[in-house]
A and B are shown apart, each in its own frame.
Chain A
Amino acid sequence: MTHPLGDDQAREQAAFFGRVTASVTHEIKNHLALINEYNGLLADLLAAHARGRDLDPERLAGLSAEVRKQVRQAGDIVGQLNRFAHSVDSPAEEVDLGELTATFTALSARRAQRRRIELSLALPESAPKLVCQPFLLLLACHCLLEAVLETCPEGTRLTIGLGGGVERPRLVFDCGGAGLAGEGCLPPWLLTNLDASLEADSSGGLALVLGPASAGMAQE
């Protein structure tokens, strides 16, 4: 049976969903592993106390705070994964580009970190909104990021910024001015669907130039 999107498109989308889910669940597992170790250490300290060793209340408070921190961080990433899962709910909806860029950056941080590249965000105070399927825009960001990671030098910071105003919003991937290559990284069907194009940015980075924003600037 042929998928209504075409086999290649369906495969690309499924692969993207799989890559993001695998990376994020790995990250969640890392937080759980740390919580498990902190819990284990607390149990070790209690066992030592039962054998006569003093308990240090400050140490216990510190461990408790670390557990809270890990739970909060894991909760944040689960929240981002949930937003990602809902990005396929509607074929077209009004998307706040600032929120979408923040979600994408959070979901991709670990993937970039594996290549020793730190992601950072540069968002305007109020971001344009765009009518599109958020999942496809996230997929476009992902394809672009994969290409950029190939050329961004290890140990550098990759800034994902938003500019261009409401006429033609631009998602800019800038690696400290390093020349980035991304030609052909976005499949034509995706660019057509998003009414988007890929351009070299004046910073030396790459810009995904999107269709006109739908509703002016988002309200804070």
Chain B
Amino acid sequence: MSEQTKRILLVDDRAEFVAIMAERLRQRGYEVAVATDGPAALAAMGRQRFDGVVLDLVMPGMDGIETLTHIKELDPTVRVIVLTGHASSQYVVQALALGAADFMVKPVDIDSLLARLVEA
């Protein structure tokens, strides 16, 4: 993600979690959209281009791996950081193979997360 682009999509089924994280990212000057499931994330991706996506893996319905697959179909260049409660090596390998840029385990330091999203 370049320094000029500041649009981030947060995807997590915990509405409270994405709301707080969105507020903190907005305070840092980013434009943020939130989605609480995979279909909502894909709909948001269809409406506008994002520079970075923070994606939870464990979600009801369409899980993070399937969502990641579709996100990459919609925009192969978008930088996706997978963020989840537990690092299962199976999921890590799968997410990275599908094009995730990195993988972080909750709880996460928001500035470390941003550093990985901004990292070119």
12 intermolecular pairs with C-beta atoms under 8 Å apart: A29-B106, A29-B107, A30-B85, A33-B107, A33-B108, A36-B107, A37-B17, A40-B24, A41-B23, A113-B60, A114-B58, A116-B61
Residues of B within 8 A of A113 (CB): 60
> How would you classify the secondary structure of chain B's contact residues: helix, strand, loop or mixed?
loop
Question: Within 8 Å of chain B (Cβ to Cβ): is A12?
Answer: no
Dominant SS among interface residues on chain A:
helix
A30:B106 contact, CB within 8 angstroms: yes
Binding site for A on B (CB under 8 A): 14, 16-17, 20-21, 23-24, 27, 58-61, 85-86, 105-110
Chain A residues with CB under 8 Å of chain B are 22, 25-27, 29-30, 32-38, 40-41, 44, 48, 113-116, 154
Query: By the criterion CB–CB under 8 Å, are B58 and A33 in contact?
Result: no
| B106 and A41 contacting across the interface, CB-CB below 8 Å | no
Of listed B20, B23, B58, B105, residue having the most chain A CB within 10 A:
B20
Q: In the complex, how many angstroms separate the beta carbon of A93 from the nearest chain B beta carbon?
A: 32
Contacts of A25 in B (CB 8 A): 85-86
- In the assembled complex, how far is the CB of residue A61 from the closest CB belonging to chain B, in whole angstroms? 16
How long is the Cα–Cα vector from A149 to B85 in the complex, in angstroms? 23
Contact A35 B24 (CB under 8 A): no
Asked whether B86 lies within 8 Å of A22 as measured between CB atoms, the reply is yes
